[in-house]
């Protein structure tokens, strides 16, 4: 069944799109969330049109009043969205036209192609700023956990085998570094989004005497000195989706980081490790097994990271084969971008909540880190200090480990004679290599887990995160 010709582009059509086509092509069910940015863009555009004399001041003011009223209706949930008007842009323009006759001039020197590009850049700037704040909140929750347990030692793992002792806080600081890089990426995406495409028209700008810099300034597309930043090629501006992709990539990488943290905590919370206890508020039970407390928040973070990668992949594939410039395929860019934004925000909030309520089982940590084998490398360093070449020292300590295993005793329970039978450089003080506090104190270099370094990092993060 064909509908009446579509009002905004219906001039050359004898009939409107079929009902099925309308359902197929509408995007307002998804892009209505761009409304605040679309309104902002239209206000700036109409202000510019008045500035260059294409609108009278009175027309501009009527348009602004109409847009403000529509904005209020949308916020109040009273605005009626119509799928047959396709998208957010046409819904708002049509509603405005009904109230304000001058609205018929609003689309002068503008196309939905540069309009949607502008809306999305405004949206992405806001999303980057919001995720930056949320990353900081997650970092603060992690820093809180580090501060509360600053004296706790745990084994650090490689290959999921106990490797060397580290302060629990040292591992949490690793998470802070990861999230800090993520924040840097969102700041970079924000900067890349900060160019105004408005004025590029459908593909080739306009013949009318517009002032692109005026609009850019109005919309906050400016550099640090307040100079307007406008895109430099109209064809690129309406077809470029790099910022969308970069945003999704930043979300995907944040997701990978969150997933790795989640995996650590899932392990730590298991009966086998029992280093931490997760807050009930972020766990669920089993419908069958009464004893179970499942780390669902963390498993979902791990799962959602797959979704974030999927969104990035969708966007890469969407854009890959497209000829310049705008193609309707690009309408499909919004769902993955919005979803990445929403899910990243949720994951960060849930991670923060989980860290804030997490308890550390100090006893289990002490037990786990007490294994002298964790300091086997320190024993090799002992031999190095005695003048033995590291390769030889490594080999000798390997022999000591084998000996202890054969005798079924901890490494530090062998006798001096026994270790000397492996290497003559061992002296009476060899067991001091297993003095855990002293061993930690020897790790003095930047980025190492010595107590002084951990304290320094704690102070650094407190300062960086404003605590």
How far from the centroid of its chain's Cα atoms is residue 226's Cα?
28
Length of the chain: 467
> Does position 34 bind ligand ARG by CB under 6 A?
no
Stretch that binds ligand ARG, among 133-141, 328-336, 350-358, 449-457 (CB under 6 A): 328-336
Stretch that binds ligand ARG, among 229-237, 263-271, 325-333, 396-404 (CB under 6 A): 325-333
User: Contact with ligand ARG (CB under 6 A): which of 113, 194, 297, 453?
Assistant: 113
- The three-point CA angle 113-119-124 to 5° equals 125
Which residue in this structure is represented by tokens 């307007």? Answer: 228
CB contact set of 396 (below 8 Å; sequence gap of 6+)? 380, 383, 388, 422, 423, 425
d(CA 285, CA 301): 18
User: Contact with ligand ARG (CB under 6 A): which of 27, 136, 231, 297?
Assistant: 27
- Binding to ligand ARG in span 150-209, by CB under 6 A: none
Which residue in this structure is represented by tokens 């990445």? Answer: 340
Q: Name the token pair of 248.
A: 């999704």
**H-run or E-run covering 360:** strand 359-360
d(CA 176, CA 138): 9
Contact 228, 197 (CB under 8 A): no
> Does position 343 bind ligand ARG by CB under 6 A?
no
Through-space distance between the first and last CA atoms of the chain, rounded to whole angstroms: 63
User: Contact with ligand ARG (CB under 6 A): which of 139, 239, 259, 331?
Assistant: 331
Q: Which is nearer to ligand ARG, 27 or 118 (CB)?
A: 27
Contact 432, 438 (CB under 8 A): yes
- Binding to ligand ARG in span 276-315, by CB under 6 A: none
> Does position 326 bind ligand ARG by CB under 6 A?
yes
User: Contact with ligand ARG (CB under 6 A): which of 38, 59, 87, 246?
Assistant: 87
Query: What b/e readout covers 94-112, taking b as 16+ CB neighbours within 10 angstroms?
Result: ebbbeebebbebbbebbbb
User: Contact with ligand ARG (CB under 6 A): which of 146, 330, 337, 439?
Assistant: 330
Stretch that binds ligand ARG, among 109-117, 209-217, 245-253, 367-375 (CB under 6 A): 109-117
User: Contact with ligand ARG (CB under 6 A): which of 116, 216, 248, 433?
Assistant: 116
User: Contact with ligand ARG (CB under 6 A): which of 84, 110, 112, 212?
Assistant: 112
Nearest to residue 24, comparing CAs of 65, 83, 95, 100? 83
- Residue 159 annotated in active site: yes
Q: Name the token pair of 402.
A: 């084998």
- Residue in 14, 159, 287, 415 annotated catalytic: 159
- Residue in 15, 29, 270, 286 annotated catalytic: 286
- Residue 286 annotated in active site: yes
Catalytic residues: 159, 286
**Which residues of the shown chain bind ligand ARG in the complex (CB under 6 A)?**
27, 87, 112-113, 116, 326, 328, 330-331
């Amino acid at each position: 069944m064909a509908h009446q010709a579509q009002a905004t582009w219906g001039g050359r059509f004898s009939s409107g799109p079929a009902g099925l086509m309308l359902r197929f092509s509408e995007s307002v069910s998804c892009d209505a969330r761009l409304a605040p940015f679309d309104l902002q863009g239209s206000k700036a555009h109409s202000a510019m049109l008045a500035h260059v004399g294409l609108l009278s001041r009175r027309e501009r003011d009527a348009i602004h009043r109409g847009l403000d009223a529509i904005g209020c209706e949308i916020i109040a949930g009273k605005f009626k969205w119509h799928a047959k008007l396709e998208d957010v842009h046409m819904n708002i323009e049509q509603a405005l036209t009904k109230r304000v006759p001058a609205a018929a001039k609003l689309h002068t020197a503008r196309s939905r192609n540069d309009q949607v590009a502008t809306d999305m850049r405004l949206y992405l700037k806001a999303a980057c700023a919001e995720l930056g704040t949320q990353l900081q909140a997650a970092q603060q929750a992690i820093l809180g956990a580090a501060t509360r347990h600053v004296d706790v030692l745990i084994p650090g793992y490689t290959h999921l085998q106990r490797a060397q002792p580290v302060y629990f806080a040292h591992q949490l600081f690793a998470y802070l570094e990861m999230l800090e890089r993520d924040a840097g990426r969102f700041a970079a995406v924000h900067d890349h989004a900060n160019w105004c495409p408005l004025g590029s028209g459908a593909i080739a700008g306009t013949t009318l005497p517009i002032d692109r810099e005026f609009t850019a300034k109005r919309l906050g597309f400016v550099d640090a000195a307040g100079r307007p930043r406008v895109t430099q090629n109209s064809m690129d501006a309406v077809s470029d989706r790099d910022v969308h992709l970069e945003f999704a990539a930043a979300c995907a990488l944040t997701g990978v980081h969150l997933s790795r943290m989640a995996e650590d905590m899932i392990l730590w919370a298991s009966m086998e490790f029992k280093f931490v206890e997760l807050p009930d508020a972020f766990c669920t039970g089993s419908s069958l097994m009464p004893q179970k407390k499942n780390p669902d928040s963390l498993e979902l973070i791990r799962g959602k990271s797959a979704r974030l990668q999927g969104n990035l992949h969708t966007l890469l594939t969407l854009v890959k084969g497209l000829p310049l410039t705008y193609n309707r395929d690009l309408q499909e860019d919004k769902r993955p971008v919005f979803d990445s934004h929403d899910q990243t925000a949720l994951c960060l909030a849930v991670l923060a909540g989980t860290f804030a309520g997490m308890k550390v089982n100090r006893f289990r940590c002490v037990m786990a880190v007490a294994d002298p084998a964790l300091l086997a490398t320190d024993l090799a360093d002992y031999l190095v200090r005695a003048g033995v070449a590291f390769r030889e020292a490594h080999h000798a300590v390997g022999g000591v480990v084998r000996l202890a295993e054969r005798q079924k005793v901890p490494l530090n329970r062998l006798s001096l004679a026994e270790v000397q039978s492996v290497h003559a450089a061992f002296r009476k003080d060899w067991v001091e290599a297993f003095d855990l506090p002293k061993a930690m104190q020897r790790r003095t270099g930047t980025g190492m887990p010595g107590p002084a370094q951990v304290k320094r990092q704690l102070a650094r993060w407190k300062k960086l995160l404003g605590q």
